[in-house]
Structure 1
Amino acid sequence: MSQSAYIKLVKGSKDLQLTLQDVQDALLRYREMTALTGKQLGWDYENAAFPYTIETQGDERWFYLKGVTSPYKHIIIGTAETTTVGGDPVRCVQVVLPEESTHGDKSKANELCKYIAKSWLAELTMFNGRTVYYNPRK
């Protein structure tokens, strides 16, 4: 059975609108940051931190990350709209681990979700159902 995590853009987030391109840009920014870290450390940290290629199928609602090394297979990422407890519509990113995904995929997906949610000041519902609030709540 597949597992899902959700990154929700709620009140207090940097932006309340998002596109699939925004998610891809965030992943590319993550990859660039790890490449710079690797350059400072003198080793290929980029491929260890982001062992995927971004693959699109022509659908504007989702794309997937395809693993380039053996312990990683794939992660599916898409955008959607969901409702909150108050009934308000909220834009979100759904990160799905299909049945074929490995423990390595789950670890990387958790890491990527935390990075994106923190940079967007969003609310993150992780694969285990726990919620992490990166948005300012008053």
Structure 2
Amino acid sequence: MASYAFIKLGEADTGFSREDLLHYIQYYKEITSKTGQQLDWGYENAAFPYDVDDVDDHLVLASKERGYYKIFLSVQQKDENEQKHTYIQVFLPEKATHGDKGKANEFCKFIAKKVKGELHLFSGKVMSFNKK
């Protein structure tokens, strides 16, 4: 079954774009690579086993590794109560694996911490990283 998670950014973050999301993906890959260097192990491939494709209005994280399939990411803006909110939508297709869900949860937490957002997990639980 397909499932969704999303990160809700604050009203002040309406300028967040797909390029910003790509930047965070690159940063995540970079820091996991450094962890791998410290451990003398190719950790970056295990931590982020995806290739990134920019397709139409979303990013596709596709893996050729066994146990992984795809994760879709998009940045959306919605009006709520006369205020604009930016969301990072995370979608797992029906063929997604448990590995994809685990990596998506891990990556969502990383992004939510960086943008100080409110993470709505696939399970429906909410984690807030907004320091109010």
User: Residue 87 of structure 1: CA displacement?
Assistant: 5.1
- Alpha-carbon deviations, 1:38-95, whole Å to 9, x = none? 10110000000000000122x1x201000120100000001112345x4522011100
Counterpart of 1:37 in structure 2 is 35
CA distance, structure 2, for counterparts of residue 114 and residue 16 of structure 1: 20
Equivalent residue runs for 1:114-129 within 5 Å: 114-129=109-124
2:131 match: secondary structure? coil
Counterpart of 2:85 in structure 1 is 90
RMSD of aligned C-alpha atoms? 1.4
2:71 match: secondary structure? strand
Query: For this pair of structures, how many residues does the alignment match?
Result: 132
CA distance, structure 2, for counterparts of residue 64 and residue 128 of structure 1: 22
- Alpha-carbon deviations, 1:82-135, whole Å to 9, x = none? 345x45220111000010100000000000000000011111111111111101
Counterpart of 1:56 in structure 2 is 54
CA distance, structure 2, for counterparts of residue 33 and residue 115 of structure 1: 11
Q: TM-score, normalised by structure 1?
A: 0.89
Answering whether residue 74 of structure 2 is matched by residue 78 of structure 1, we say yes
User: What are structure 1's unaligned runs of at least 5 residues?
Assistant: none
- For 2:47, the aligned partner's letter is A
Residues 8 and 117, structure 2, Cα contact 8 Å, conserved in 1: yes
* Structure 1 runs, 4 residues or longer, greater than 2 Å off: 86-89
Q: TM-score, normalised by structure 2?
A: 0.93
Residues 33 and 43, structure 2, Cα contact 8 Å, conserved in 1: yes
User: Residue 16 of structure 1: CA displacement?
Assistant: 3.6
User: What are structure 2's unaligned runs of at least 5 residues?
Assistant: none
- For 2:70, the aligned partner's letter is H
Counterpart of 1:131 in structure 2 is 126
